[in-house]
Amino acid sequence: MALSVYLRALALNEELPRRRPRSYASIADKAAVAQLLGLLGQSRIANNLNQLAYHANVGSLAMDDRTREQIDEAYDTVLLMRTTLMRALGYRE
């Protein structure tokens, strides 16, 4: 509540306005948010990125075809999660 609203209510002996509860109506599609949470739970992105960072830091990251496929798969998963979240928040591409 703003200080001016509080002081006005005191000066005019008015009742203080009640706070309105926060509305979560801005999420357009709750099913999409649930799908996103499911994707986050199923993916091992955090673990994989941690392992990539470790091996890159110690200099043992070999970039063979399998490594490239895994990086591409992680990228595709992150992109899918981003797109799903954007749709859930009401943004259109």
Q: Write the pLDDT tens digit of every residue in 5-49.
A: 888 888 998 888 787 665 555 566 677 777 877 787 787 877 787
Could you tell me the pTM of the whole model?
Answer: 0.50
DSSP E strand stretches across 18-60:
none
Alpha-carbon gap, residue 54 to 46, rounded angstroms: 12
- The pLDDT value given to residue 27: 60
* CB-CB contact of 27 with 88 (8 Å): yes
- The pLDDT value given to residue 40: 76
Alpha-carbon gap, residue 51 to 10, rounded angstroms: 60
Per DSSP, the chain holds a count of helices (H) and strands (E) of: 4, 0
Q: What is the mean pLDDT of the chain?
A: 77
Single-letter amino acid, residue 52: L
Q: How confident is the model at residue 56 (pLDDT cuts 50, 70, 90)?
A: confident
Q: At what angle do helices 30-42 and 65-88 cross, to 10 degrees?
A: 160
